Amino acid sequence: MESLFQKLDCLMLNVTNLEAAITFYRDKLGLPLAWRTETAAAFQVGESELVINEGELREPETDIMVQSAAEAADRIVEAGGSIVVGPFDIKIGKCVVAADPFGNRLVLLDSTKGLLKTDENGFVID
């Protein structure tokens, strides 16, 4: 059977000061900046990203890349899990928030619309 999960896409953390967090992760820890917006930034960690978000506080989140969020939702339900939210559109494709039979949330996304485009300073454009 083919694995549903392709890779861990990102770990998303909350920060109270985006600029201070960029200084910490990029300048002091040496993580390369992958992209940024006015309220978030991502750093490359191997094939994955560490995403920091300033604003609405929520639990840390791990996003998992799949081929198709809609097909992943069906497969999760068939396997005994459930759908919490979605599938819904995101900038790069579709996302679904699922739960395994043990109550763990699984944020599954695809990149069917393509990856984020950035300018020379790393800001997301479009």
Give residue-wise pLDDT tens across range 23-40.
999 999 999 999 999 999
Contacts of 72 (CB under 8 A, 6+ apart): 4, 66, 96, 98, 108, 110
**Does residue 54 lie within any of the structural domains?**
yes
**Does residue 1 lie within any of the structural domains?**
no
Could you tell me the residue range of the domain that residue 96 belongs to?
A: 7-125
Number of domains in the chain: 1
**Does residue 2 lie within any of the structural domains?**
no
Do 107 and 64 touch, CB atoms closer than 8 A? Answer: yes
pTM score over 0.75:
yes
CATH of the domain at 121: 3.10.180.10
Give residue-wise pLDDT tens across range 81-126.
999 998 999 998 999 999 998 888 899 999 999 888 888 888 888 7
Do 101 and 80 touch, CB atoms closer than 8 A? Answer: yes
**Does residue 22 lie within any of the structural domains?**
yes
Q: What spatial distance separates the first Cα and last Cα of the chain, rounded to whole Å?
A: 38
